[in-house]
Amino acid sequence: MSTEWDLQICCMGAGYVGGPTMAVIAKMCPKIRVCVIDLNQAQVDAWNSPTFDLPIYEPGLPEVVKESRGRNLFFSTSINEEIARADIIFISVNTPTKTQGIGAGRAANIKNCELCARTIAEVSTTNKIIVEKSTVPVRTATAIRRVLQCNDKGLQFDVLSNPEFLAEGTAVKDLLKPDRVLIGGSQSPEGLAAAEKLVKVYANWIPREQILTTNLWSSECAKLVANAFLAQRVSSINSISALCEATGADVCEISRAVGMDARIGSRFLQSSVGFGGSCFQKDILNLVYLCETYGLDECAQYWNQVILMNNYQKKRFSEKMVSKMFNTVTGKKVAILGYAFKKDTGDVRETPSMFVARDLFEEGAKIHVYDPQVKREDMWQEMEYTCNMSPAKTPGLDEAIVTAPDAYSACSGAHALATLTEWDEFKTLDFEKIYKSMAKPAFIFDGRNILDHDKLRKIGFEVHVIGKPDPAAFTDL
Catalytic positions, written as ranges: 279
Q: Is 88:195 a contact under the CB 8 Å cutoff?
A: no
Question: Which candidate, 136, 145, 128, 139, places its Cα nearest to that of 163?
Answer: 136
**DSSP H or E stretch at residue 32:** strand 32-37
Contact criterion met (CB below 8 Å) for 273 and 314: yes
- Interstrand relation of 128-132 and 157-161 (parallel, antiparallel or unpaired): parallel
Is the four-CA dihedral 275, 278, 284, 288 of positive or negative sign? positive
Question: 129: exposed, middle or buried (C-beta count within 10 Å: 0-12, 13-18, 19+)?
Answer: buried
The answer to whether 58 touches 34, Cβ cutoff 8 Å, is no
Contact 89, 12 (CB under 8 A): yes
Look up residue 298 and give its amino acid.
E
Residue 44 near residue 55 (C-beta atoms within 8 A): no
DSSP state, 363? T
Sign of CA dihedral 13, 19, 24, 29: positive
Nearest-5° angle of CA 434, CA 435, CA 437? 65
CB-based contact 420:338 (threshold 8 Å): yes
The number of beta carbons lying within 10 Å of the beta carbon of residue 121 is 21
| CB 220 within 8 Å of CB 161 | yes
Closest listed residue to residue 347, CA positions, set 55, 13, 46: 55
CA gap 315, 320 in Å, rounded = 9
Q: How many angstroms separate the CA atoms of 182 and 223, rounded?
A: 9
Give the DSSP per-residue string, 45-56. HHHT-TT---SS
Is residue 308 classed exposed, middle or buried when 0-12, 13-18 and 19+ CB atoms within 10 A define those classes? exposed
| DSSP designation for 98 | P
Say which DSSP state 260 is in: T
Q: What is the C-alpha to C-alpha distance for residues 109 and 286, in angstroms, rounded to an integer? A: 10
